[in-house]
Chains A and B, each alone.
Chain A
Amino acid sequence: MKFLGIRLGSIALGLLGCGLIQVIANGQNSFIQLLVILAGLYVTLAVSLNLINGITGQFSIGHAAFYQVGAYTAGVLARSFFDKLHLHPLLWLVLVMIAGAIGAAIAGLVVGLPSLRLRGDYLAIVTLGFGEIINIIARNQETLGKAYGLDIAPRISSVFMVWALAFLTIAVCRNLLKNVHGLTFLAVREDEVASAAMGVDVTRVKVAAFVLGSAFAGAAGALYAHALGFISPTNFSMDVSFIILTMVVLGGTGSITGSALAAIVLFYIPEKMRDLHPMPVSSIVAGAIAIVVTVAVVKRVADNFRGSRRNKTLIIIGSIVGGVVIQLIFSTILRGVPSLQQMVEGSKLRLVVFAVTLVILMLLRPEGVFAHHEFSWSWVKKLLGHADIPETEMSA
C-alpha cells in the first residue's frame, strides 16, 4: 500500500505540475502559449532521442522523421474521421497521440531492424537517409498534401497534454534506468560483444530502444499537428533532427535531466532573442570581450582548481557574475568611441549568438552540461561539497 501511495502521489504531483504550466500559459497571449507547447514537445523529443542515442548508444540523427510520421498519422486521421466521430477534443487528442505513437513505432521498427548490423557513423547515415526518405514521400504523395502540406481541421492546443506527454517520457526513461533492464541498455552502449556474452539479447535491446524512442516522438508529432492546425514537410526538415541531437549532446549524452533542460534552454534562447532591441556595436564588442575573459577564467578554474567542490562551484558562479560586470564596464567605456556607435538589429544576431553559445559550451564541457549525471538531491549536495551521501544512480 505504501508503494501505491507513493506512486499515485508522484503521478498526481506530475499532473499537477502540468496543470500549473497550463494555468500560467492561459494568462499569456497565443504566441507565448504556442512557445510553451513547442518547448514541451522538444523536451519529449530530446528525452526520447536520448533513450536511443545516449542510453543505448545508437547514433541516430533522423529523429524528426518519427516526429513527422506521428504528425502525418494524426493529420490524415483528423481529416478523415474527426467530423464523423464527434468526440471530445481532449479525448480525440489522446487517441491521436496513441495512433501517432503506433505509426512512429512501426517506422522505428522498420529503420531499427535493418540497421542493427550497423554501428556509429554508418548507422547515423542510414537514419539520416531514412529521415530524408520520409520527407520526400510526404512531399510527393497526393494524400499527404505534397509540398504544400496538410490543413488539419480542428486546432486543438492543450498545454496540459503536451507537458503530460513530456512527463510520461521522462518517467518511463527514469524507470528504465532504475531497473536492471536499463543496465542492459547501457551495457549495449558500452560493449556489444561483452553484452552478448553475458546473455543480453543485443538485437532485442536495440529494437526496443528504437521502437520506444520513436513512439514518444510520434506522440509528440500528433500533438504538434493539432496544435498548429497545419503541417508541411518543411516543419520536419533535417535541421529539426539536428536541433534535437544538439539538445541531447549538449545536455550530456545519457542524462535525462540534461536532455530535458537543454531542450528548454536551447528552445528558449533563440525565441527570446527575437525581441532584442537594436543595440550599438559598442555593447556587442563589450559583450564579446566579457565572454572571452569569462570563458578563459572558467576553463582555467575547471581544469586546474584543487580544492573543495563547493569552492569551485562558487568560483565559477563568481566569474560568471564578474563577466557581466566586465560587460557593463566596457560598454560604458566603448560608448565614447564614435565609430562604435552604429546601431545593429539585435534580433539579426540571434542565430550567431546561438551558435557561439554552443561552441563555447562544447569547448568548456565536451561531455555535456550534465555529463552522465541525473538530478537527485544527493547530487546537489555533492556539488555543494557535502559528499557524505554516496552517489548511486539507482537509489535516486
Chain B
Amino acid sequence: MTCLSLKEATIKFGGLTAVNKVSFELEKGDLFGLIGPNGAGKTTCFNMITGVYEPTSGGIVFEGRNIEGTPSNRIAKLGICRTFQNIRLFRSLSVLENVMVGAFLRHKTSLASALTDMPPAIKETRALRDQAMSLLEVVDLADEANLRSADLPYGSQRRLEIARAMATQPKLLLLDEPAAGMNPQEKLDLMGVVRKIRDEHQMTVLLIEHDMRFVMGLCEKIFVLDHGEEIAYGPPDSVRNDPKVIAAYLGEAV
C-alpha cells in the first residue's frame, strides 16, 4: 500500500529550481533513504512534504490525499512528523516536556478546561507525560528526563528530536540527518533505534543521511538527488555501483 508519493514535485525560488520534477513512492513500512551531495535539494524535499514550502508545481499525495500547500501543523495531524537537520529543540524546556509537546497532538481536553485546571485536563496531562516517559525509554533518555534539553550532549539531542517526533505517533517519520555529529558507536545504536521504530512502532521511515555506511546498512530503497533532479533509485547495492552516483559524489574522471 502506498504511503507517500511525490508526483513531479517541483519548487523554484526565483530563478533557482531547487527541486525539479522529483517523483518517488514510499510503500507502507518502507525504510527509505534520500541521499545526494550538499545542496542537492534533500531538505527542501522534506520542507515540501511537511508543508514548510508549497511546491511550485506537481503533487504530493499522502494516503490518497493531496497535501501540497497544507500548513505544517495540519500535516502533523495527518500523520507525518519530522526531525530537523539543524536541531530545533525547545531549548529551555526539559527533555520530558519536549516530548510532551509532541504528544500534545493527541490532546482532547479544551484550553478552557486547562485554564481552570479541571480533573480531565489534569488527568490528560498526566497520561501524556507517562506516554512521553515511555518514549524516552525507547531512545534511552529516561534518566535525563528532567534536564534542560539544551544541556544534553549533541547525540542525545538528536535522539530527543526523534522521540519528540515519535510522540505525535506519525504514520510516516522523516529523519533529517539523524546521525550527523555522532561517533561510530552512537551511529550503530541509532541504526538499532530506527529499525525498532519501523518494526515495533509500525512507522514508515524516510531519512536523509550523508554517512553512506549508515544509509546502506539501514535502508532498503535509496533515492539519489543531485542538483534537484533524480539521478538514481534502487536498492543499496545498485545505487552504490551506479556510475552517475559515483560521479556526483566524487566527480568524473578527466
A residues sitting closer than 8 Å to B (CB atoms) are: 3, 7, 172, 175-176, 178-184, 186-187, 190-191, 193-202, 208, 212, 372, 390-394
Q: Which residues of B contact A199 (CB under 8 A)?
A: 73, 76-77, 81, 102, 104-105, 168
Q: Is the CB of B101 within 8 A of A183?
A: yes
Chain A hits for B119, CB < 8 A: 3
Q: Which residue of B lies closest to A182 (CB)?
A: B114
Q: Is B50 engaged at the interface, CB distance under 8 Å to the other chain?
A: yes
- With contacts A3-B119, A179-B117, A191-B88 taken as known, whether A198 is within 8 angstroms of B146 at the C-beta atoms is no
**Among the listed A183, A193, A391, which residue makes an inter-chain contact with B52, where contact means beta carbons less than 8 Å apart?**
A193
Which residues B67-85 have CB closer than 8 A to chain A? 71-73, 76-77, 81-82, 84
Return the contact of A186 from the options B88, B90, B164, B168 (Cβ within 8 A). B90
Interface centre among B104, B116, B165 (most CB of A within 10 A): B104
Complex partner residue of A180 from B71, B84, B107, B115, CB under 8 angstroms: B107
The reply to whether A179 and B76 contact each other, CB–CB distance below 8 Å, is no
B interface, CB within 8 angstroms of A = 50, 52, 71-73, 76-77, 81-82, 84, 88-94, 97, 100-105, 107, 109, 111, 114-117, 119, 121-122, 124-125, 128-129, 146, 164-165, 167-168
Cα separation A142 to B100 with both chains bound (whole Å) = 52
With a CB–CB cut-off of 8 A, which chain B residues contact A197? 50, 52, 72-73, 76, 81-82, 84, 88, 165
Contacting residues, chain B, for A202 (C-beta < 8 A): 73
Q: From residue B76, how far is it (CB to closest CB) to chain A in Å? A: 3
- B97 and A194 form a contact (CB under 8 A): no
For the complex of A and B, list the 6 residue pairs with the smallest distance between their C-beta atoms, beginning with the closest.
Answer: A199-B76, A190-B90, A196-B72, A199-B105, A179-B114, A181-B114
Least CB distance, B157 to chain A, in whole angstroms: 12
Pick the contact of A175: B50, B81, B97, B115 (CB < 8 A). Answer: B115
**How far apart are B44's CB and chain A's nearest CB, in angstroms?**
14
What CA separation (Å) do A134 and B117 show in the bound complex? 34
Most A-side CB within 10 Å, residue of B72, B105, B121, B167? B72
**Chain B residues within 8 Å of A196, by CB:** 71-73, 76
Question: Which chain B residues lie closer than 8 Å to A186 at the CB level?
Answer: 90, 92-93, 97
The total of Cβ contacts below 8 Å across the A-B interface reads 119
Cβ–Cβ contact B104 & A178, under 8 A = no
Known pairs A187-B101, A194-B90, A198-B168 / 20 extra A-B pairs, C-beta < 8 Å: A175-B115, A176-B114, A179-B122, A182-B114, A183-B93, A183-B97, A191-B90, A195-B73, A195-B101, A197-B50, A197-B73, A197-B82, A200-B101, A200-B104, A202-B73, A212-B115, A390-B146, A391-B146, A392-B146, A394-B129
Q: Collect the chain A residues with CB atoms within 8 Å of residue B111's CB.
A: 181, 208
- Which residue in chain A gives the minimum CB-CB distance to B87? A194
Report the Cα distance A200→B77, complex, angstroms: 9
Nearest CB on B from A386, distance (A): 17
| Contact assessment for A180 and B52 in the assembled complex, using a CB-CB cutoff below 8 Å | no
Cα A194 to Cα B72 in complex, Å, equals 9
What distance in Å separates the Cβ of A168 from its nearest Cβ neighbour in chain B?
10
A390 closest partner in B (C-beta): B146
Smallest beta-carbon distance A197→chain B, Å: 5
A-B contact pairs, 28 of them (CB 8 A): A3-B119, A172-B115, A175-B116, A175-B117, A178-B117, A178-B122, A178-B125, A180-B100, A180-B124, A181-B107, A183-B101, A186-B92, A187-B93, A190-B90, A193-B52, A193-B84, A194-B84, A195-B73, A195-B90, A197-B72, A197-B81, A198-B73, A198-B101, A199-B77, A199-B168, A200-B101, A212-B115, A394-B129
Contacts of B117 in A (CB 8 A): 7, 175, 178-179
For residue A201, which residues in chain B have a CB less than 8 angstroms away from its CB?
A: 73
Residues of B within 8 A of A393 (CB): 94
Q: CB-CB < 8 A to A194: which residues of B?
A: 84, 88-90
A183 to B128, CA, bound (A): 12
Cα–Cα, bound, A180→B93 (Å): 12
A315 nearest CB across to chain B (Å): 26
Considering residues A3, A190, A372, which has the most beta carbons from chain B within 10 angstroms of its beta carbon? A190
CB of B206 to closest CB in A, whole Å: 14
Kindly report which residue of chain B lies nearest to residue A254, judged by CB atoms: B92
Q: A180–B109 Cα gap in the complex (Å)?
A: 10
- Residues in A neighbouring B91, C-beta threshold 8 A: 190-191
Contact residues in B for A212 (Cβ distance below 8 Å): 115
Complex: chain B residue closest to A179, CB-CB: B114
Within 8 Å CB of B100, what residues of A? 180, 183
CB closest chain-A residue, reference B82: A197
* Least Cβ–Cβ distance between B9 and chain A, in angstroms: 19
Determine the chain A residues whose CB is within 8 A of the CB of B88 once the complex forms.
191, 193-194, 197
Instruction: Say whether B90 contacts A180, CB under 8 Å.
Output: no
A180 touches B104 (CB 8 A): yes
Closest to A175 in B: B117
| Nearest residue, chain A, Cβ from B107 | A180
Q: Separation in Å of the B48 CB from the closest CB of chain A?
A: 13
CA A392 to CA B109, docked complex, whole Å: 23
CA–CA, A195 and B90, complex, Å: 9
A184, B146: Cβ atoms closer than 8 Å = no
Distance from A113 Cβ to chain B, minimum over Cβ atoms (Å): 16
A106 to B119, CA, bound (A): 30
CA distance A319 to B84 in the complex (A): 47
State in angstroms the CA–CA spacing of A175 and B122 once bound together. 10
Nearest-CB distance from B125 to chain A (Å)? Answer: 5
Query: Considering the chains assembled together, what is the distance between the CA atoms of A172 and B167 in angstroms?
Result: 27
In the assembled complex, how far is the CB of residue A369 from the closest CB belonging to chain B, in whole angstroms? 17
In the bound complex, how far is the Cα of B96 from the Cα of A392, in angstroms? 10
Given A187-B101, A191-B88, A200-B101: A180 in contact with B125 (beta carbons within 8 A): yes
Can you name the residue of chain A whose Cβ is closest to the Cβ of B119? A3
